[in-house]
Chain A
Amino acid sequence: MENTIVKAENYNSYFGDNHVVKDVNISINKNEVIAVMGPSGCGKTTFLRGINRMHELIPGATSKGKILLDGQNVYDMNAIYVRAKIGMVFQRPNPFPNLSIYENVVAGYLLNGIKVSKADKDVIVERSLTSAALWKEVKDSLHKKGTFLSGGQQQRLCIARAIAMQPELILFDEPTSALDPISTSSVEQLFHELKANYTLIIVTHNMQQAARVSDRTAFFYMGELVEFDDTKQMFTNPADQRTQNYITGRFS
């Protein structure tokens, strides 16, 4: 499909002999927000980390099958390039503690040795912080350490850092689980705004968040992709009994 940005074909992940993601086939369109949910240990984070080849950084971790980004298998590409095209935001805000807000935003360029002029950096920083809905709050303190910001602001700084590399896709691994409700709300609002320019895949344990922010939802259980459907359909009439049991809290 022309609109497809990322596609998994018979994708499997392993930790040693432990088969944690099993034969996943999924196709994600541009500018979609996808929620990935499932009980702990179901393979959702492992699947997410397989998309930008973070999975292989863990000793003993392997994978099989394909992850196609714009039709090209990411496992045939340079891993650093893949991670630049596919940004990632983690559960706990993790700005570099020794870098300023400004340096944090352009950290991807600094750490990968990509030379960018001061003027271009200024543009990247302003554009990324604006996209992450943080510019107005920090524009007068760009050279303070990122760790001085609140938890919600730090997470938005991490989103700005991901955006700065102009990725096609941004992966979020439980991005609000360490945030208070107000910060969570501002990050969720940001998802709606980011959708105009990016494709977002969000792993979340918060089902209401999945329902609020996503266009489509994937439900994983014991390494399998059980169901992938429109979020409204999933939360009103899921096709699979296991999905229904999970979202209604009747999971044993």
Chain B
Amino acid sequence: MTPLENEITAVKKELVNMWILVQSQLNKAREAMVQFDKDLAREVLVKEKRVNSFELKIDRDCENIFALHCPVAIDLRFLLAALKINTNLERIGDIASSIAKYVVDSAVNFDAAAMESTSMLRMFDEAINILTDARTAFEMEDTVLARSIFKRDDVLDVINDNASNTVAEVIKANISSMTEALYILSIIRKLERVGDQSKNIAEEIIFYVEAKILKHYASSQADSADEE
């Protein structure tokens, strides 16, 4: 392998490690919420610093490669994609951390029926699955899998669109649970952002592997964008 290939392989490895950590953060935030486990939530808050460290290191490594190796073609596209994936992963890390903070701040546990009726847990699971599949697509350079993420993000969008009504129903049924219901609404909004960020990541994977730019295409158009 050339020195540049070695550097790029190292960045890829770092990104995958960051990805695994961010997935773990989301999983733990979910678990902390369901179990109302404040210690686990605090662990997520502490580990957020590690996510930030990953982001800084990957940024710096990419900057060094640009300066020292003048990458072109697929190497250039990989590094441009890596920078954006890095930013999106860090933001997902922030979301996991802010959900964990709700658990730490909340006086009472989240009502299981409310989490069920608002489809929040289903949304959580789907968001984590999408993020996991995005990682697989990145590692395997699988653009078919990356493209499948566009449609799956629509599921999260539907739950998010209905959230105002479903949360209102929860509040109407039990006015005393208003604070927790608003936390749930806020979490749903954040999970919708996880879907968007995973979609951004999928776009970057396709850019890196196929040199195609799908940014700003609606998901329904993304599949046919190849012909343009």
Contacts and interface: CB of A to CB of B under 8 A. Distances in A.
Q: Max chain B CB contacts within 10 Å: which of A236, A243, A248, A250?
A: A248
A67 B77 CA distance: 37
| Size category, A interface | 10 to 19
B77 A237 contact: yes
A118 to B, nearest CB: 49
B20 interface: no
A207 B5 contact: no
A238 B4 contact: no
B112 interface: no
Nearest to B211: A237
A70 B22 CA distance: 62
Given A207-B72, A244-B74, 4 more contacts: A236-B73, A236-B211, A237-B211, A238-B73
Contacts of B70: 207-208
Given A208-B70, A236-B211, A237-B211, A250 B76 contact: no
Q: Max chain A CB contacts within 10 Å: which of B70, B73, B75, B211?
A: B73
Give the secondary structure class of A's interface.
Answer: helix
Contacts of A68: none
A248 B74 CA distance: 8
Interface string A148-183: 000000000000000000000000000000000000
Given A236-B211, A237-B211, A244 B2 contact: no
Contacts of A236: 72-73, 76-77, 211
Contacts of A207: 70, 72
B73 A247 contact: yes
B73 A237 contact: yes
B130 to A, nearest CB: 27
Contacts of A243: 73
Interface residues of B, number: 12
A43 B70 CA distance: 26
A211 B73 CA distance: 12
B206 to A, nearest CB: 13
B115 to A, nearest CB: 46
A238 B77 CA distance: 12
B73 A249 contact: no
A136 B149 CA distance: 62
Interface of A: 207-208, 211, 235-238, 243-244, 247-250
Nearest to B70: A208
Interface in B36-77: 70-77
B4 A235 contact: no
A248 B77 contact: no
A235 B74 contact: no
A247 B71 CA distance: 9
A249 B77 contact: no
Contact of B4 (A208, A211, A244, A249): A249
B215 to A, nearest CB: 15
Interface string B70-96: 111111110000000000000000000
Nearest to A247: B72
Given A235-B72, A236-B72, A248 B211 contact: no
Counting from the closest, the 8 A-B pairs by CB-CB distance are A237-B211, A235-B72, A249-B2, A247-B72, A244-B73, A248-B75, A248-B73, A208-B70
B72 A250 contact: no
A227 to B, nearest CB: 12
A211 B5 CA distance: 21
A167 to B, nearest CB: 32
A236 B75 CA distance: 9
B15 to A, nearest CB: 19
A220 to B, nearest CB: 17
B29 to A, nearest CB: 38
A235 B73 contact: yes
A237 B207 CA distance: 10
A247 B74 CA distance: 10
Nearest to B72: A235
A117 B216 CA distance: 65
